[in-house]
Amino acid sequence: MSKHNCILLVDDDSINNYINLRIIKKLDIAEKIEIASNGKEALSLINKVCSTGDCKCCPQVIFLDINMPVMNGFEFVEALQQTEVYKNHEIKIIFLTTSQEENDIKEIFRLGIYDYINKPLTEYKVMNYIA
């Protein structure tokens, strides 16, 4: 499995973030792991680190929850897709969600997202989606 420069976890549940962080660290697939608790925080972080000119800081993979306060996953993706950062960097977005709602799944694919994974994240799922 190739090692990514940066993976971003976006979820308002700190326990999920902790578990996902441990899985990714154990697999040793990222030089750096960033965490944001909602879409607005994630967007701010991405704009900050990706605008430094050092592409190694920009997340290559984002695991994104749908239902979060402040800015949910769908709002985040729509805002991110309008940025120069998204247009100039290859960022693989994977929704990590408990939602089985047909409308949510349709919206994920309408947005042109790489894919979605049902929570919880596991080593097996990581290996299959970002190997």
Pick the more confident residue, 80 or 52.
80
pTM above 0.75, yes or no: yes
Is CATH 2.60.410.10 correct for 4-130?
A: no
Q: Cα–Cα distance between 124 and 38 in angstroms, integer?
A: 25
- Rounded to 5°, the CA angle 85-68-120 comes to 95
Phi-psi region of 52 (alpha: psi -120 to 50; beta: other; left: phi over 0): alpha
Q: Does position 2 have pLDDT exceeding 80, yes or no?
A: no
Cβ atoms < 10 Å from Cβ of 66: 22
| Local structure of residue 121 (DSSP, 8 states) | P
pLDDT at 1: 60
Domain ranges of the chain: 4-130
pLDDT cut 70: percent of the chain above it: 95
Q: Are 33 and 62 in contact (CB under 8 A)?
A: no
Closest CA to 17 of 65, 71, 57, 76: 65
